Structure 1
Amino acid sequence: MNVLTKIGYDNLTVEIEFPIDDDSLEKILRDNYMPTDTTKPFYVRSIDYPNALSGLEGRTVNLDELNFLAKRMECFFGDEYDQFSIAVERTIATNLRDMINLTFNLDKYTLIKDISDMTKVGREYVLNTEGGVPVDSKYDEKYAQIGRDLLNSGRGIFTEKGLLFVENKPLDEVYDGQVFPEFAYNAAIADVEIEYNGKMEILFLPDSELAFGKALNRLGAKYLEDCDCVMEILDPKYNNLSETLDQVFTNKGINELNRILKRMDDEEINPQKLAAAIEYTGVTSPHDIGVLMDNIDDLELITDIDQGDYDEVGRYFINASDDYELSEELEDFFDIHEFGEYIADERSGQFISGGFIYYDGNYDMTDILDQLDSAKNSIKMGGL
């Protein structure tokens, strides 16, 4: 669900559709001669869609808060927009802090649109208030009774969207008006917890570099070095790179880490192959990791080969490569182990954790090694 707005600053007005990435938002503001500091008070001239946010019209807002709310709303599922709309109306929420908090409290607003099936009513109520229900039909009578009790409770409030049941408990203030709550809008490879003066924000990478400065500003920190930071890999495909990425983050900072992750994501670089290439060469610097990514298509990885198993290397090349063929008549006379050793030497191959990596480009491995800063340290690798 997109939020269509007309945003003003002084006598200027621009149409902005939220959610929007930080880089695009900054470009729109700059192109329309508005301040790029999104914490300044911008004026909401109109909310063209959705109607639930019409209470923001005529008010000044923080554009980052509005963007965060729009991201939350875009992730609504099923009846959640209707729940949110009714919650906004009932609580008379007219500021972004309250609206953001409502998106984290929809379990307190159950909306029943069909009362003809008591089992369905009971299941929907428990699913909304508790977050899950078993799928086994043996529980049907239990949920049918919950549905009957709910409809007979007298708590139902008729609305244009259905019968509303509001839980009699306070709303959780997930957003304190300063730092944004944990929320991954896009699929993330890693996150970085940043803590400063008892407050914490979590950044999900890769992201726009503008997001990092905004998070620091909300925390009240001037430099990342002033904060306690912890990096964690979220996508298990990248687990083999965790040590390398943590070193980049510790030694070079979040921007370098983000650039590596963004490039891997944009170019769909195989993290297992890159981890193997890093182990192969022993590189650690962002520059050298970039060189490996530049040349990743010239490297091939054979997985699930035991350390030193040249027989399996030889069999792989005979079976999988068009460059080598072996007739059945010659199998008994062919030294497969020696052939595997030949391949390792010919293609600068080396055993690494869980596999065997080798050069498969148009030149030879020195073409890559010569580009590395680490070449000055006389890299020594098996097969070279």
Structure 2
Amino acid sequence: MNVLTKIRYDNLTAEIEFPIDDDSLDKILRDNYMSTDTTTPFYVRSIDYPNALSVLEGRTVNLDELNYLAKRMECFFDDEYNQFSIAVERTNATTIKDMINLTFNLDKYTLITDISDMTKVGRDYILNTEGAVPADSRYDAKYAQIGRDLLNSGRGIFTDKGLLFVEEKPLEEIYDGQVFPTFAYNAAIADVEIEYNGKMETVFLPDSELAFGKALNRLGAKYLEDCDCVMEILNPKYSNLSEPLDQVFTSNGINELNEIIKRLECEDIEPKKLAAAIEYTGVTSPHDIGVLMDNIDDLELISDIDEGDYDEVGRYFINTSDDYDLSEELEDFFDFHEFGEYIADERSGQFVSGGFIYYDGTYDMTDILDELDSADNSMRMGGM
């Protein structure tokens, strides 16, 4: 669900559709000669959509807060917008802080739109208030009874969107008005938890560099080095890169880490092969990892081969490569182990924890090594 707005600043007006990434928001503000400090008050001339946010019209807002709220709303499921809309109305919420907190408290407001199926009524109620229900039909009678009891409780409030049931529990303040609660809006490869003076924000990578600065500002920190930071790989596909990426973050900072992760996502680089190439060369710097990414198509990885199993390397090449041909009659007399050692020498191959990696480009491995900053790579790749 997008939030369509007209924002005014110093008699200048811009149309902005939220949610929006930080770089795009910055460009719109610059193009309209507005302040790029998104924490400064901006006047809401109008909210064209959705109606639930119309109470913000005529007020000043923090654009980052509005953007965070829009991200929360875009992730609403099914009737959650109607729940949110009713919650805004019943609590007389007029600030974005209150609205953000309502998005985390929708379990307090159950909206029943169809009372013809008692089992569904009961399931919907438990799903909203407790977060999960078993899919087993053996529980249908139980949920039908819950539905009947709910409708007979007298707690239902008629609204233009359905029958509303409000739980007698306080609203939780998840957002304190300073730092944004952890919320993964987009699928991310990694996150970095940044803690400062007892407060924490989480940034998800890849993202704009502006997002990192904004997180620090909300925390009240001047430099990332002043904070306690923990990086975690979120996507298991990239778990093999956890150690080298963490080393980049620790040694070179979040911006260098972010650039590598951007490339991983945009160029669809096979993380297992890259991890093997990093182990193969022993590189650690962002520059050298970038070189490996540039040349990753010239490297091949044979997975699931034990350390020192040259016999299997030899068999792999005989079975898969067009460069080598061996008749079945000669297989019993062929030394696959010796052939595997030949391949390792000929193609600069080496066993790594992910299998066996080798050069498969047009020229030879020295073309890649010459681009690396590290001076001792040839020593680390014994025999080359």
Scaled to the shorter chain, the TM-score interval is over 0.9
CA contact (8 A) 2:282 2:377 kept: no
Q: 1:52 corresponds to which residue?
A: 52
Q: 1:21 corresponds to which residue?
A: 21
What is the rounded CA distance, in whole Å, between the counterparts of 1:369 and 1:350 in structure 2?
Answer: 15
Q: 1:65 corresponds to which residue?
A: 65
What is the rounded CA distance, in whole Å, between the counterparts of 1:139 and 1:165 in structure 2?
Answer: 22
Q: Letter of the aligned partner of 2:54 in structure 1?
A: S
How many angstroms does 1:382 deviate by?
4.0
Q: 1:214 corresponds to which residue?
A: 214
Q: 2:99 corresponds to which residue?
A: 99
Q: TM-score, normalised by structure 2?
A: 0.98
What is the rounded CA distance, in whole Å, between the counterparts of 1:370 and 1:48 in structure 2?
Answer: 58
Q: 2:3 corresponds to which residue?
A: 3
How many angstroms does 1:311 deviate by?
1.0
What is the rounded CA distance, in whole Å, between the counterparts of 1:190 and 1:377 in structure 2?
Answer: 28
How many angstroms does 1:354 deviate by?
3.0
SS at match of 2:297: helix
CA contact (8 A) 2:9 2:42 kept: yes
CA contact (8 A) 1:299 1:359 kept: yes
What is the rounded CA distance, in whole Å, between the counterparts of 2:77 and 2:122 in structure 1?
Answer: 19
What is the rounded CA distance, in whole Å, between the counterparts of 1:380 and 1:220 in structure 2?
Answer: 44
Identical positions, percent = 86
Matches within 5 A, 1:229-268: 229-268=229-268
Q: Letter of the aligned partner of 1:83 in structure 2?
A: Q
Q: Letter of the aligned partner of 2:201 in structure 1?
A: E
SS at match of 1:53: helix
How many angstroms does 1:378 deviate by?
4.7
Q: Letter of the aligned partner of 1:141 in structure 2?
A: A
Which structure 2 residue ranges, 5 or more long, are not aligned? none
CA shift digits 1:287-336 (9 cap, x unpaired): 10010011011100110001111111111111112221211222222211
Structure 1 201/99 Cα, relative in aligned 2: closer, same or farther at 3 Å?
Answer: same
Q: Letter of the aligned partner of 1:248 in structure 2?
A: V
SS at match of 2:358: strand
CA contact (8 A) 2:369 2:377 kept: no
SS at match of 1:375: coil
2:191 is equivalent to residue 224 of structure 1: no
How many angstroms does 1:135 deviate by?
1.0
CA shift digits 1:25-75 (9 cap, x unpaired): 000100110011100100110111111110111110000000000000111
CA shift digits 1:90-111 (9 cap, x unpaired): 1111110011001101111101
What is the rounded CA distance, in whole Å, between the counterparts of 2:380 and 2:232 in structure 1?
Answer: 31
Q: Letter of the aligned partner of 2:343 in structure 1?
A: I
2:264 is equivalent to residue 284 of structure 1: no
2:141 is equivalent to residue 141 of structure 1: yes
Q: Letter of the aligned partner of 1:117 in structure 2?
A: D
CA contact (8 A) 1:9 1:42 kept: yes
What is the rounded CA distance, in whole Å, between the counterparts of 2:231 and 2:330 in structure 1?
Answer: 55
Q: 2:321 corresponds to which residue?
A: 321
CA shift digits 1:352-373 (9 cap, x unpaired): 0030000011110000001001
Q: 2:380 corresponds to which residue?
A: 380
How many angstroms does 1:12 deviate by?
0.5
Instruction: Spell out structure 1 runs of 4+ moving beyond 6 A.
Output: none
Which structure 1 residue ranges, 5 or more long, are not aligned? none
SS at match of 2:379: coil
